[in-house]
């Protein structure tokens, strides 16, 4: 099915999908591919190998990303109309998860990304008509229209049955729901500045993505890591990222080989910073939106 055919097929969204919604959906899927193609990423799936994920590979992740084009377009349409998080956005996200799991044979490839990216797609659609797609405007729109609902969602999540709630009970660390309720500070305060600084330093797109991933790994308590290995694993990831960045990160000679060594070390420990990978994709989405606006 071509992306343009989404304009005429039956849609889960409560409002008709228009061209701008499709553009945002394509940017979201492209951002997932930006993250997927980047290498070397410690413990994560890439075109080179499956990292610490025995049940996934690059082809499966690509099929998963492709399956999200139509759901993201529906979320953009709902966001543009300012629809309720509880009544519309969350059910659309859950439908996107079911579609993803059908494509992957039940493997959870992009559940976290659906939640985070879906919210930012909705916020970007809502922001575009009146105030454009400056990152700070997208964040402000998210909090103005859905902030209270996201806070309530985070409170409910503390007692729900999920990996994130399990991690919170065992470690006291917060997960994706709290990140969303706070307006994705890891994206807007860490991810986007790190990516921009990497480009300003002359790094290419791949190196800029890896630099940004390490910045996120240093700053974020990654729920995927904590679920697999507890607080010791979380400390290992943050210290490893901090040491990599302190030595110059991707701006120094030999960074690629060092990142590959860390990749092997993460795989040996069965660690994967999947939450940070999602935040990298969200970072790339927001930057892609801004770039598209500038080019228009």
Distances (CA, A) of 73 to 128, 179, 254: 14, 23, 41
- The pLDDT score that the predictor gives to residue 157 is 62
Q: What angle do CA 37, 280, 135 make, to 5 degrees?
A: 125
Per-residue pLDDT of the chain (296 residues; tens, 9 = 90+): 333 333 333 344 457 889 999 999 999 999 999 999 999 999 999 999 999 999 999 999 999 999 999 999 999 999 999 999 999 999 999 999 999 999 999 999 999 999 999 999 999 999 985 445 889 999 999 999 999 999 998 887 655 555 555 555 555 556 678 899 999 999 999 999 999 999 999 999 999 999 999 999 999 999 889 888 888 999 999 999 999 999 999 999 999 999 999 999 999 999 999 999 999 999 999 999 886 544 43
Range of the domain at 271: 3-295
Question: In the prediction, which pLDDT does 295 show?
Answer: 43
Count CB atoms within 10 A of the CB of residue 151. 16
According to the model, what pLDDT value does residue 226 have?
A: 87
- Domain containing residue 202: CATH number: 1.10.4200.10
40 preceded by a cis bond (ω within 30 of 0)? yes
Count the domains in the chain.
1
Upper half-sphere CA count for residue 178 (Cβ side, 13 Å):
14
d(CA 167, CA 172): 7
For residue 113, give the nearest of 162, 169, 180 by alpha carbon: 180
């Amino acid at each position: 099915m071509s992306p343009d055919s989404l304009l005429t097929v039956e849609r889960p969204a409560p409002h008709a999908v228009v061209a701008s919604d499709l553009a945002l959906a394509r940017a979201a899927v492209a951002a997932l591919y930006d993250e997927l193609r980047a290498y070397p990423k410690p413990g994560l799936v890439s075109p080179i190998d499956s990292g610490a994920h025995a049940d996934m590979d690059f082809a499966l992740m690509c099929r998963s990303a492709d399956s999200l084009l139509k759901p993201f377009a529906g979320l953009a349409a709902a966001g543009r109309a300012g629809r309720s998080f509880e009544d519309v956005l969350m059910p659309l996200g859950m439908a996107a998860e079911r579609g993803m799991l059908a494509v992957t044979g039940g493997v959870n490839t992009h559940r976290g990304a659906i939640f985070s990216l879906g919210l930012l797609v909705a916020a970007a659609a809502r922001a575009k008509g009146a105030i454009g797609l400056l990152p700070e405007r997208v964040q402000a729109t998210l909090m103005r229209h859905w902030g209270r609902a996201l806070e309530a969602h985070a409170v409910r999540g503390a007692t729900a049955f999920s990996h994130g709630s399990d991690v919170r009970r065992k470690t006291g660390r917060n997960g994706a729901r709290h990140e969303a309720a706070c307006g994705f500070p890891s994206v807007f305060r860490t991810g986007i500045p790190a990516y921009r600084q990497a480009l300003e330093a002359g790094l290419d797109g791949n190196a800029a993505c890896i630099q940004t991933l390490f910045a996120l790994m240093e700053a974020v308590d990654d729920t995927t890591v904590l679920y697999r290995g507890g607080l010791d694993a979380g400390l290992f990831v943050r210290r490893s990222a901090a040491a990599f960045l302190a030595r110059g990160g991707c701006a120094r000679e030999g960074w690629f080989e060092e990142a590959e060594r860390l990749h092997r070390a993460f795989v040996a420990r069965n660690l994967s910073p999947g939450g940070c990978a999602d935040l990298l994709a969200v970072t790339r989405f927001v930057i892609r939106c801004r770039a598209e606006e500038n080019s228009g």
